[in-house]
């Protein structure tokens, strides 16, 4: 399972419909569970997060590493093969404390650009779906 812990509110609308469509297509272990927190609560939660190695923690941050979709698929697949759940962190408006980036297993950047929360959530969900299709050898992703 993939837990996505996101800053901000759970919004409805067109972006939420797209996220929902990709979620419907996902199967274990790529199924998604969302948790939303306001900026202050998210910062407190992550300040007390154990980062104990049981989960594979991916921190989304524009200062992270930019990787291809096949590399992302491989990263998720390795975590699952090693028996680890995947936790993906999407920050609030002010991002993450440096300690969160340092303690995460991987810091991932979609781009050096900063995106609104709903666009980041939509892109994240689509990339998880794409990763699942790559891992299953399905033709969704084209090289």
Condensed to tens digits (0 to 9), the pLDDT of residues 65-116 reads: 999 999 999 999 999 999 999 999 998 777 889 999 999 999 999 888 888 8
The answer to whether 29 touches 80, Cβ cutoff 8 Å, is yes
| Predicted pLDDT of residue 66 | 95
| Predicted pLDDT of residue 8 | 80
Q: How many domains are there within the chain?
A: 1
Does residue 143 sit within a domain?
A: no
Does residue 9 sit within a domain?
A: yes
| Predicted pLDDT of residue 134 | 97
**Residue numbers of the domain that contains 57:** 2-135
Whole-prediction pTM: 0.92
- Residue 7 confidence (pLDDT) above 90: no
| Predicted pLDDT of residue 124 | 94
Does residue 142 sit within a domain?
A: no
Does residue 100 sit within a domain?
A: yes
| Predicted pLDDT of residue 102 | 94
Sequence-ordered list of residues with C-beta below 8 angstroms from that of 140, at least 6 positions apart, any chain: 129, 130, 133, 134
Does residue 141 sit within a domain?
A: no
Whichever domain contains 85, its CATH number is 3.40.1280.10
- The DSSP symbol for 104 reads S
| Predicted pLDDT of residue 4 | 95
Does residue 38 sit within a domain?
A: yes
């Amino acid at each position: 399972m993939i837990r996505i812990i996101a800053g901000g509110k759970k919004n409805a609308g067109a972006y939420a419909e797209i996220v929902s469509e990709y979620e419907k297509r996902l199967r274990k272990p790529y199924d998604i569970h969302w948790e939303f927190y306001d900026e202050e609560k998210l910062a407190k939660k992550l300040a007390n997060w154990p980062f104990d190695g049981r989960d594979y923690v991916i921190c989304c941050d524009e200062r992270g590493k930019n990787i291809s979709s096949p590399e992302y698929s491989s990263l998720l697949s390795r975590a699952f093969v090693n028996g680890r759940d995947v936790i993906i962190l999407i920050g609030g408006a002010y991002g993450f404390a440096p300690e969160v980036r340092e303690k995460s297993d991987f810091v991932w950047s979609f781009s050096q650009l900063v995106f609104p929360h709903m666009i980041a959530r939509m892109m994240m969900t689509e990339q998880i779906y794409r990763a699942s299709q790559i891992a299953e050898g399905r033709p969704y992703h084209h090289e």
